[in-house]
Amino acid sequence: MIIQLKNISKIINNRIIVNNLSFTMRAGHCFGLLGPNGAGKTTTINMILGLITPSSGQLTVFDMQQPRHGSKIRKKIGVVSQEDNLDPDFSVFENLIMHGRYFRLAKDQIVDQANSLLASMELLKHKDLKPLQLSGGMRRRLSIARALMNTPELIVLDEPTTGLDPQVRHLIWERLRELRNQGTSILLTTHYMEEAERLCDELMILDQGIAIESGTPRELINQHIEPHVFELDKSAAQTHSLKNTASQRIEMIGDTVYIYTTQSHLVRQHLDALSDDQQIHYLHRPANLEDVFLKITGRDLDE
């Protein structure tokens, strides 16, 4: 086991940030911590890194106790934090060199590693620029390159693609999949369900510090949600007074009505019939983790 949490809690200023959390992460897996802002994801990561001491519980990483062996454990971990904290006083290349020194790597090794990582992250031609001269996507790629300087056994990413455009997001996903295929373990937090579904072998959904569900993305979806979802506008739904029936379950969140069903053709027929007298725009899509979250907590994930 790479990571083992047993009944971990963290209380800061009388507020329970993480509440009795337990999970294990296997080597070579991609494990996702999923949840809205304030769910306790970052605090959990910082406890795993040994930067925050749990209020109670047992935590081991690489079979060593945290936070006692923080330094030794961090030697084998690469970290991509939520906010960019690249060193603004150094160029792209120097950022990687300096980071390699913090890990006490050999000089030649540092230079070779920096060059090959810059190449794989498509940053080689920007190596002499300062971080502030880069776009957000390039900075994030540099953060990931930096996290790989020590050839980590485990890479920890805290919302790695938040605020990035789709192209960069796909490049990052591709690199992460490559890493996992090479045997690197990945711990990821995200509030993008798509990201979790694409990358993670195993997931845990956190809400207000509590683990509310866990399993593989498919398991979670199959367990909780009908496979088909129709989304339509609230006003349209109201005029036609849609009702729960054996074949459909209706949820209303904000201005959107969600119809969940196992029999998509029935719902589709019904909606198309209604459309005959008045145009109804609807979206038919497969169920995803977002729906799972919605069902479990009754809330939108991005709110």
Partner 1 sequence: MSLLDSINHFSYGAFCIWQRNILVWKKLIGPALMLHFGEPLIYLFGLGYGIGQLVGDINGISYVSFLATGIIASSAMTTASLEGTYSVFTRMVPQQTYKAILTTPIKIEQIIAGEFLWCANKALFSSTAILIIATLLGLVESWQALWVFPIILISSIAFAAPAIIVAALSPSYDYFNYYFTLAVTPMFILCGVFYPISSMPSAMQIAVQFLPLTHTVELVRPLMLGQDVQNTFYHIAILLVYAGAGTILAMHIARKKFRL
Rule CB under 8 A: choose which of 99, 139, 140, 224 binds partner 1: 99
Q: Does 65 bind partner 1 (CB under 8 A)?
A: no
d(CA 214, CA 134): 38
Q: Does 106 bind partner 1 (CB under 8 A)?
A: no
Rule CB under 8 A: choose which of 79, 154, 187, 211 binds partner 1: 79
- Residue (152 or 217) nearer to partner 1, CB: 152
**How many residues lie near partner 1 (CB under 8 A)?**
30
Q: Does 74 bind partner 1 (CB under 8 A)?
A: yes
Q: Does 127 bind partner 1 (CB under 8 A)?
A: no
In the sheet where 77-80 sits, what is the strand order?
Answer: 77-80, 154-158, 185-190, 30-34, 202-207, 210-215
Q: Does 118 bind partner 1 (CB under 8 A)?
A: no
Amino acid at the residue 43: T
Rule CB under 8 A: choose which of 27, 38, 65, 72 binds partner 1: 72
Amino acid at the residue 63: D
Segment lying near partner 1 (by CB under 8 A), choices 84-92, 171-179, 193-201, 231-239: 84-92
Rule CB under 8 A: choose which of 14, 71, 241, 278 binds partner 1: 71
Rule CB under 8 A: choose which of 23, 24, 29, 70 binds partner 1: 70
Q: Does 75 bind partner 1 (CB under 8 A)?
A: yes
Cβ atoms of residues 81 and 143 within 8 Å:
yes
Rule CB under 8 A: choose which of 19, 23, 57, 98 binds partner 1: 98
d(CA 243, CA 246): 10
Segment lying near partner 1 (by CB under 8 A), choices 48-56, 165-173, 226-234, 273-281: 48-56
- Looking at the DSSP bridge assignments, the partners of residue 30 are 186
- Looking at the DSSP bridge assignments, the partners of residue 189 are 33, 158
- What one-character-per-residue DSSP string does 145-198 give? HHHTTT--SEEEEESTTTT--HHHHHHHHHHHHHHHHTT-EEEEEES-HHHHHH
Q: Does 94 bind partner 1 (CB under 8 A)?
A: yes
- Shortest Cβ distance from residue 74 to partner 1 (Å)? 5
Residues 4-33 that bind partner 1 (CB under 8 A): 12
- Shortest Cβ distance from residue 22 to partner 1 (Å)? 21
- Shortest Cβ distance from residue 111 to partner 1 (Å)? 15
